[in-house]
């Protein structure tokens, strides 16, 4: 694809752009020469030019975004950039792309693509406007604002609605998800925000997506059902350490008890809005809701994720055959009655198709004998989730990704284990690729001290929690709070939070007491705050400056061995005659620890204390792999060294 936007910079070298006194130095107000950024730009440029894959570990502070975006523009190809989160997507699109358009590529066309649930459906707005049915005054007010916004917004992207709470149920009745979409037959198709998004993407040189949308598209391409993204030949994965888990979700099968409730709700509202269907048909939707509730109540009440092998599924169905049959029969009856309606609006056809898919998916998840999946269920609150996850996605990704697209660049601050990418390549099925662990831009030996207490009980000892609380209280006193205390389990988090409460004079925040974004805002704005949290705060969190001066981790973050997916992958490696602990469990924990510690040093002026209370990193042979994979922190076992280090830090 010819790309006119690259003409301005395609003739000059990476050194001319990223080197001292180069174009970036002259045009970027916050420019600092970074040798690793220049090295990464060279590797990325060569990958695009030679049409090969590349794996690049680039630490925080490298400036990796521009180091892959500029070579992507220079390549003259349509490139997809996939990020871990929507917030990083928006940063690229709203900050980095305009900078590039202004200073390097004035003709660059870029498109931001998100999942359909992020966008407003104009037809639903107009339907509800004709037959308003709201739950309380808040919904009336929100809908009034959304209706006015619909007339002026260019994108229809929910992120523009700063007034609408994250959990507002009203949005679920207005968004553009595909369940009720009639596509080109919709009277609003030409004005549809999804249509406009796809048009922008088809005209773009650079398409910015997130991992979930990327793998949703790749899974659809696999089944020849069409595609979400336009054709492309190169992709960059930022935060590439997350793609195995995301790919596993999209190449697996999953449904929840909520899907049946949503089917009933959408059928009721659609029939009412379109003024079609009889009273018995509407009663059928209520019957689905009742029978779904009765069936999913048969699952054990214990919270958590549990294996659901073929033998366990067979026994469950034998005990609950009547409830299962009643649920599937009621869904089948709804499907039949919707299909029999005349006239049959497109929305009704979509509902019938959705009922059929839901019934088949439930049958697969409970009755399939297909190998290569681990089957499991999870109860979260009042919801039950059923899933079949591929035990190994490496062959799928090798065939569908690395052999289909000639340039795939994987980058993150945490990809290497023990200075190599063997683990990543094994898990993802990467073909031969250019590989580089770039030098760190920060002086970790001067900016951070890693404290591993000399005497701590084994993490499995009953006395560990009490001693861990003592160490945490001591460290918080030295750092004056300003800390993340990160745990590998909710139970341990809550117990140690309770033990530390009352022993330190700092504001303590606890995960689960407020939404994640609210807790982060409170932490950033509350002097000397301390956050107690688990896995979701180990990555993707950025608190620069002295407000975060300490990160404490209780244990080496090994995945829970009883988790069905972990257990299945361990079993598969063991049955293959391999060492699952060394080849899978240790590398996974190494990458997680690197992510957790990565919260602390985010700039050249950040300083602070890291601590791991698990002495296995020092005592056990495998601890060397953890140590070799971490940056060159100053290390101590003496808490007095920690105090001296903090005294030397600027306030």
* Whether pLDDT at 645 is above 50: yes
Domain 4-109+204-245+393-437 fold is: Rossmann fold (3.40.50)
d(CA 228, CA 198): 8
- For residue range 183-216, list pLDDT tens digits in order: 888 889 999 999 999 999 999 999 999 999 999 9
Here the tokens at position 627 are 């140590």
Task: Give all strands of the β-sheet with 110-112 in edge-to-edge order.
Answer: 110-112, 206-210, 79-83, 234-238, 407-412, 53-57, 433-437
Domain boundaries in the chain? 4-109+204-245+393-437, 116-195, 253-390, 444-648
**Among 234, 208, 207, 240, residue whose Cα is nearest residue 75:** 234
Could you count the other beta carbons within 10 Å of the beta carbon of residue 343? 7
Question: Is residue 45 classed as helix, strand or coil in its secondary structure?
Answer: helix
Of the pLDDT bands very low, low, confident and very high (cuts 50, 70, 90), residue 7 is very low
* Whether pLDDT at 648 is above 90: no
- Of all residues in the chain, the percent with pLDDT exceeding 70 is 97
| CATH class held by domain 253-390 | mainly alpha
d(CA 315, CA 309): 10
The predicted pLDDT at position 608 comes to: 94
Of the pLDDT bands very low, low, confident and very high (cuts 50, 70, 90), residue 2 is very low
Nearest-5° angle of CA 632, CA 636, CA 638? 170
Single pTM value for the model: 0.90
The predicted pLDDT at position 586 comes to: 96
Cβ(60)–Cβ(598) under 8 Å? yes
Of the pLDDT bands very low, low, confident and very high (cuts 50, 70, 90), residue 536 is confident
d(CA 282, CA 333): 12
Average pLDDT, the chain: 91
The predicted pLDDT at position 6 comes to: 40
* Whether pLDDT at 433 is above 90: yes
**Among 201, 200, 158, residue whose Cα is nearest residue 177:** 158
* 569-583 mean pLDDT: 95
* Whether pLDDT at 595 is above 80: yes
* 303-318 mean pLDDT: 94
Q: Which residue has the higher pLDDT, 3 or 25?
A: 25
Which residues does 162 contact at the CB level (< 8 Å), separation at least 6? none
The predicted pLDDT at position 293 comes to: 95
The predicted pLDDT at position 225 comes to: 52
Of the pLDDT bands very low, low, confident and very high (cuts 50, 70, 90), residue 3 is very low
Q: Judge if 4-109+204-245+393-437 and 444-648 fold alike in CATH terms.
A: yes
Determine whether domain 444-648 maps to CATH 3.90.1720.10.
Answer: no
Q: Which residue has the higher pLDDT, 159 or 68?
A: 68
Which residues does 135 contact at the CB level (< 8 Å), separation at least 6? 169, 170
Of the pLDDT bands very low, low, confident and very high (cuts 50, 70, 90), residue 585 is very high
- For residue range 354-381, list pLDDT tens digits in order: 999 999 999 999 999 999 999 999 998 8
Nearest-5° angle of CA 399, CA 85, CA 375? 55
* Whether pLDDT at 238 is above 90: yes
């Amino acid at each position: 694809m010819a790309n006119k936007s690259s003409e301005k910079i395609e003739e000059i070298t990476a050194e001319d752009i990223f080197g001292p006194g180069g174009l970036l130095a002259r045009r970027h107000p916050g420019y600092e020469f970074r040798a690793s950024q220049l090295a990464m730009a060279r590797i990325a440029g060569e990958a695009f030019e030679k049409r090969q894959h590349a794996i690049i570990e680039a630490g925080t502070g490298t400036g990796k975004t521009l180091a892959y975006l500029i070579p992507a523009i220079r390549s003259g190809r349509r490139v997809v950039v996939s990020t871990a989160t929507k917030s990083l997507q928006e940063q690229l699109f709203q900050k980095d792309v305009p900078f590039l358009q202004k200073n390097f590529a004035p003709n660059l066309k870029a498109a931001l693509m998100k999942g359909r649930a992020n966008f407003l459906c104009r037809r639903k707005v107009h339907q509800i406007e004709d037959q308003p049915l709201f739950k309380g005054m808040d919904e009336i007010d929100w809908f009034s604002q959304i209706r006015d916004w619909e007339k002026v917004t260019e994108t229809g992207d929910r992120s523009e609605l700063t007034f609408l709470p994250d959990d507002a149920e009203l949005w679920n009745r207005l968004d553009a998800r595909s369940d009720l979409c009639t596509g080109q037959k919709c009277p609003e198709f030409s004005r549809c925000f999804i249509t406009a998004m796809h048009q922008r993407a088809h005209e773009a040189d650079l398409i910015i997506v997130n991992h979930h949308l990327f793998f949703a598209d790749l899974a659809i391409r696999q089944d020849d059902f069409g595609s979400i993204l336009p054709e492309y030949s190169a992709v960059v994965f930022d935060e590439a350490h997350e793609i195995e888990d995301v790919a596993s979700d999209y190449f697996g099968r999953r449904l929840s008890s909520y899907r049946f409730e949503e089917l009933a709700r959408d059928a009721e509202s659609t029939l009412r809005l379109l003024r079609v269907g009889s009273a018995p048909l509407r009663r059928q939707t209520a019957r689905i809701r009742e029978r779904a509730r009765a069936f999913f109540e048969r699952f054990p009440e214990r919270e958590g994720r549990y294996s659901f092998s073929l033998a366990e599924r067979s026994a469950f169905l034998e005990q609950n055959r009547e409830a299962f049959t009643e649920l599937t029969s009621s869904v089948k009856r709804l499907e039949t009655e919707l299909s029999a309606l005349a006239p049959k609006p497109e929305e009704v056809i979509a509902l019938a198709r959705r009922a059929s898919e839901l019934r088949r998916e439930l049958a697969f998840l409970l009755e399939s004998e297909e190998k290569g999946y681990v089957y499991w269920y999870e109860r979260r609150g009042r919801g039950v989730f059923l899933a079949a996850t591929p035990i190994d996605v490496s062959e799928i990704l090798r065939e569908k990704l690395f052999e289909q697209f000639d340039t795939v660049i994987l980058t993150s601050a945490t990809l290497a284990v023990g200075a190599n990418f063997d683990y990543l390549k094994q898990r993802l099925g990467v073909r031969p690729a250019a590989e580089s662990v770039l030098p760190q831009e920060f002086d970790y030996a001067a900016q951070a001290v890693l404290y591993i207490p000399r005497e701590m009980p084994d993490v499995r000892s009953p006395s560990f929690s009490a001693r861990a609380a003592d160490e945490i209280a001591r460290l918080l006193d030295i750092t004056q709070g300003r800390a993340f205390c990160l745990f590998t389990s909710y139970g341990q988090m809550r117990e140690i939070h309770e033990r530390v409460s009352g022993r330190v004079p700092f504001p303590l925040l606890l995960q689960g007491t407020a939404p994640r974004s609210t807790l982060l805002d409170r932490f950033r704005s509350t002097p000397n705050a301390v956050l107690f949290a688990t896995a979701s705060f180990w990555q993707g969190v950025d608190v620069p400056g002295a407000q975060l001066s300490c990160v404490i981790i209780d244990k080496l973050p090994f995945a829970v061995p009883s988790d069905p997916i972990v257990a299945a992958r361990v079993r598969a490696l063991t049955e293959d005659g391999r060492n699952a602990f060394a080849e899978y469990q240790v590398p996974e924990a190494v990458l997680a620890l690197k992510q957790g510690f990565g919260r602390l040093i985010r700039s050249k002026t950040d300083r602070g204390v890291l601590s791991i209370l698990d002495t296995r990193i020092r005592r056990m042979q495998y601890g060397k792999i953890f140590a070799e994979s971490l940056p060159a922190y100053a290390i101590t076992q003496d808490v007095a060294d920690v105090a001296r280090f903090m005294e030397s830090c600027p306030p």
